[in-house]
């Protein structure tokens, strides 16, 4: 019996054939992303502004949206630049130039993110003084805004007293920090201790991400954070999950007594 034809005259080979075609498409997309990431990394280190923009544009023209470009190109490139710098495998000037180019790409891509309905919840976001930490905060701020949150991004270098004052002024539902270098942990610990003692915003949930918190399991919980994540995207998933769990349990804005939350890797 002849097999059925599809609209293009091809043959439907059944479920196994469909799965094979699906795997082939996935493999081709992964290979395309790998090539694009390698090209972007080389152009970032070389300081090739036009080449960086062209690489991202061509990736999106191949069927990827702004979120894909941020998640699969820009953020991995940022992590690689940070790793190369910590290993002294690139010069400081190359790191600085690459991070500046990445920041410009992030700001362009943020304009193309799909916007979701307002959640009427505020997130105060801060970072460490390192440019790559600020970039992580910038990416998180952009995707959180697109997800419907009101975001206040303080950037890096803000002192604990000023962060505490801003929390009291803004009354956020969440405070998120990408201060990921070792020296930042004591500052965060002081801030969290003060927030827990004086409770300027009852029910405030505090999240920390990346860097030292990835390399030292248990540190986030030790300093009193409610949740932790390794990337800006996992951080947003953690925030959304906490909100869903709070609504399901009917606790409203009250802070749950559950152990620290860390989203599973995709």
Condensed to tens digits (0 to 9), the pLDDT of residues 164-177 reads: 999 999 999 999 99
Q: Do 126 and 179 belong together in one domain?
A: yes
Domain membership of residue 13 (yes or no) is: no
Q: Region 6-29: what's the mean pLDDT?
A: 57
Whether 23 shows a pLDDT value over 70: the answer reads no
Distance CA 124, CA 155 (A): 10
Model-level pTM? 0.82
Q: Do 142 and 40 belong together in one domain?
A: no
User: What is the model's pLDDT at position 260?
Assistant: 59
Q: Region 46-72: what's the mean pLDDT?
A: 96
Q: Do 73 and 156 belong together in one domain?
A: no
Domain span including residue 176? 122-249
Tokens of 178: 């990408």
Least trusted range by pLDDT, from 12-16, 146-150, 180-184: 12-16
CATH number at residue 142: 3.40.50.280
């Amino acid at each position: 019996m002849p097999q059925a034809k599809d609209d293009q005259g091809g043959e439907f080979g059944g479920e196994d054939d469909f799965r094979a075609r699906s795997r082939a498409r996935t493999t081709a997309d992964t290979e395309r992303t790998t090539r694009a990431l390698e090209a972007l990394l080389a152009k970032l280190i070389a300081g090739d502004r036009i080449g960086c923009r062209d690489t991202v544009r061509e990736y999106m023209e191949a069927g990827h949206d702004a979120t894909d470009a941020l998640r699969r190109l820009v953020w991995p490139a940022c992590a690689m630049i940070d790793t190369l710098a910590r290993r002294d495998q690139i010069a400081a000037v190359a790191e600085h130039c690459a991070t500046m180019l990445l920041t410009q790409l992030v700001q362009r891509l943020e304009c193309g993110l799909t916007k979701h309905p307002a959640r009427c919840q505020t997130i105060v976001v801060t970072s460490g003084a390192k440019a790559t930490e600020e970039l992580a905060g910038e990416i998180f701020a952009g995707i959180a805004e697109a997800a419907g949150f009101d975001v206040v991004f303080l950037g890096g270098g803000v002192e604990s007293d000023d962060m505490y004052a801003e929390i009291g002024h803004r009354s956020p539902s969440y405070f998120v920090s990408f201060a990921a270098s070792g020296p930042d942990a004591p500052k965060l610990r002081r801030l969290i201790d003060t927030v827990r003692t004086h409770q300027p915003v009852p029910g405030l949930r505090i999240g920390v991400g990346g860097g030292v918190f990835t390399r030292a399991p248990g540190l986030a919980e030790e300093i009193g954070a409610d949740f932790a994540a390794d990337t800006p995207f996992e951080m947003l998933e953690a925030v959304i999950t906490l909100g869903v769990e709070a609504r399901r349990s009917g606790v409203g804005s009250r802070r749950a007594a559950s152990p620290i939350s860390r989203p599973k890797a995709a």
